[in-house]
Amino acid sequence: MPQKLLFVCLGNICRSPSAEGIMNHLIAEAGLSQEIICDSAGTSGFHIGEPADRRMSAAAQQQGFTLTSRSRKFEVSDFEEFDLILAMDQDNYDAMLALDRTGRYHHKLKMICEFCQNHSDHDVPDPYYGGPSGFTYVIDLLADACAGLLHYLTQEQRA
């Protein structure tokens, strides 16, 4: 049974679809597409059905990553569906904690930056209102975090 990962940000058009796209790229490179499945969602429903922000897609493309997901809202049923749910920032994490009123799924929630190997950020900054360098930084940060996450998952499977 494949491990299922869900990446979550606010609108699901910048950070979480980037994490999904980067992680899918790394999984495919490692030959693990049958073992690990990724999706992404937003804590808000602002952009349901929309593709990733064009600026985010361009920044990802420059580094060899393709973003293909469509925005959707995080649902309470996602707690049951996914094995690991990765928040982009503390607000996203807190929003999901609030939805898990019983605390039953708290063990599935993690901050994506916990898996960074070279960056010390706690949160993935939202580049939406900034310039091009913010989008590039988010791709760099998420590439680092996703590489660390893949390492963590493959070590966990060996254990």
Q: Which amino acid is at 56?
A: M
Please list the active-site residues. Answer: 9, 15, 126
**Extended beta strands in 10-156, E state:** 36-42, 84-87, 109-111
DSSP 105: T
User: Nearest CA to 10 among 83, 85, 71?
Assistant: 71
With 0-12 / 13-18 / 19 or more C-beta atoms within 10 angstroms meaning exposed / middle / buried, residue 63 is middle
**Stretch (H or E) spanning 5:** strand 3-9
Residue 128 in contact with residue 49, Cβ under 8 Å?
no
Q: Three-state SS for 9?
A: strand
